[in-house]
Amino acid sequence: MNDRNQAQSLPSSANFRTLATPLRAPIIFTKKTSQLRDTLLLNMNVTNPPHPVADGLSVSIVVYRPDAELLARTLDSLALACDQLRQTRPELPLSLCIVDNGGLAQTPLDIDVLARHGIRYDVISGHGNVGYGRGHNLAIEQASSCFHLVLNPDIDLGRTALSAAFEFFESQPAAGLLTPCIGDESGGIQYLCRRYPTLLDLFVRGFLPGGAQRLFRRRLARYEMRDVINERDVVWDPPIVSGCFMLFRTDRLKQLGGFDPRYFLYFEDYDLSLRTHEVTRVAYVPSVRVLHHGGGASRKGSAHIKMFGASALKFFNRFGWKWV
């Protein structure tokens, strides 16, 4: 970390396993890219079209053949976190946009749980599987909130996650992107803040079995910022943060043009993180706590490995190659 990085003590929260109580260089768009975006907008269906939300929180979730149980937990935990947020901000507008890249209609799900908690929701569908980042961009383009949360459908929010995030933003006007303390199902931390990767880092972290990874323990610890990431201290300007939970000031996110649509899956968050440092500051805030159920590309089959490789190529061609 450079000398811009600062740390300040914050109280630790409860164990990750008790987070949620279930309720049941800015992108320059070419003419070709703009035409494709316009085609998508013309052919998609929007349920409950958006209304202006000048000062609230908007959330986008992109789904493709979602796991019904995990998505239900995400929505339930989001509803609980919004309830907590409204304890101190009762008039705050809250909205969710679910971008259906395919399969949502076949998923047994009670989306109306959101309405029962005062959260307006929209569903965008009919555009096909356009990828993770481009899917979020469909929601980001229509967002008019003060803050926008990019959220995975496999995240459980801690009940105080959103209220803690708003408190931090209010006390730190320089911050434009917040990343939380991300836990796993065993109660530990997922170290998803990263330094700039080398090809060796990615190979070791993504594809070597656990026993072999131990031979590279010090290298991985540096890549995953284990020397500074903990459950107590705010860390300013981690180079790369995870796309599973990215809470932006919406004007900064729009200034960046959202995600680069050239990434279908993987590395879109690496790209957006690095570009974000050009326009605002990024903060890791451990008082904001979430639980992540996701897994790596190597555990999802050969198709994901190919997508990972294709996106890695785009990333390194844009930002520079580092081998070891």
Is there a single domain that holds both residue 34 and residue 137?
yes
Structure tokens at 217: 């323990």
Is there a single domain that holds both residue 100 and residue 224?
no
Distances (CA, A) of 193 to 115, 150, 212, 243, 244: 33, 16, 22, 10, 11
Which amino acid, one-letter code, is at 222? Answer: R
Is there a single domain that holds both residue 174 and residue 223?
no
Q: What is the pLDDT of residue 46?
A: 55
Is there a single domain that holds both residue 124 and residue 206?
no
State mean pLDDT over 290-309: 80
Is there a single domain that holds both residue 128 and residue 207?
no
Q: Which of 123, 76, 119 is nearest to 97 (CA)?
A: 123
- Give me the number of domains the chain comprises: 2
Which has more pLDDT, 210 or 74?
74
Is there a single domain that holds both residue 127 and residue 152?
yes
- Is the CB of residue 282 less than 8 Å from the CB of residue 175? yes
Is there a single domain that holds both residue 36 and residue 58?
yes
Q: DSSP 3-state assignment of 231?
A: coil
pLDDT at 40 over 80: no
Structure tokens at 127: 């555009």
Q: Strand 175-183 relative to strand 94-100: parallel, antiparallel, unpaired? A: unpaired
Is there a single domain that holds both residue 263 and residue 283?
yes
**Within-domain flag for 6:** no
**Within-domain flag for 82:** yes
Distance CA 205, CA 220 (A): 7
**Within-domain flag for 8:** no
What CATH number should be reported for the domain holding residue 130? 3.90.550.10
Sorted by sequence, the CB contacts under 8 Å of residue 142 that are 6+ apart come out as: 50, 97
Residue 304 CA to its chain's centroid (Å): 19
Sorted by sequence, the CB contacts under 8 Å of residue 30 that are 6+ apart come out as: none
pLDDT band at 45 (very low <50, low <70, confident <90, very high): low
**Within-domain flag for 29:** yes
Distances (CA, A) of 249 to 72, 75, 296: 26, 22, 28
First to last CA, the chain: 19
Q: What is the pLDDT of residue 302?
A: 84
Reported as a single tens digit per residue, the pLDDT across 106-135 is 999 888 889 999 999 999 999 999 999 999
**Within-domain flag for 47:** yes
Is there a single domain that holds both residue 206 and residue 248?
no
Is there a single domain that holds both residue 152 and residue 83?
yes
**Within-domain flag for 181:** yes
Q: Is the pTM of this model over 0.85?
A: no
Sorted by sequence, the CB contacts under 8 Å of residue 97 that are 6+ apart come out as: 50, 58, 59, 60, 61, 121, 122, 123, 124, 138, 139, 142, 143
Reported as a single tens digit per residue, the pLDDT across 7-36 is 333 333 333 333 433 333 333 333 333 344
DSSP per-residue letters across 210-226 = HHHHGGGHHHHHHHTTT
Q: Which of 169, 164, 135, 192 is nearest to 249 (CA)?
A: 169
Hey, which bits of the chain come out as E strands? 45-47, 57-63, 94-100, 120-125, 147-151, 155-157, 175-183, 235-236, 245-249, 281-292
- For residue 304, the enclosing domain spans 194-228+296-324
Is there a single domain that holds both residue 282 and residue 203?
no
Reported as a single tens digit per residue, the pLDDT across 137-148 is 999 999 999 999
Is there a single domain that holds both residue 101 and residue 248?
yes
**Within-domain flag for 323:** yes
**Within-domain flag for 13:** no
DSSP per-residue letters across 159-214 = TTHHHHHHHHHHH-TTEEEEEEEEE-TTS-B----BPPPPHHHHHHHHHS-HHHHG
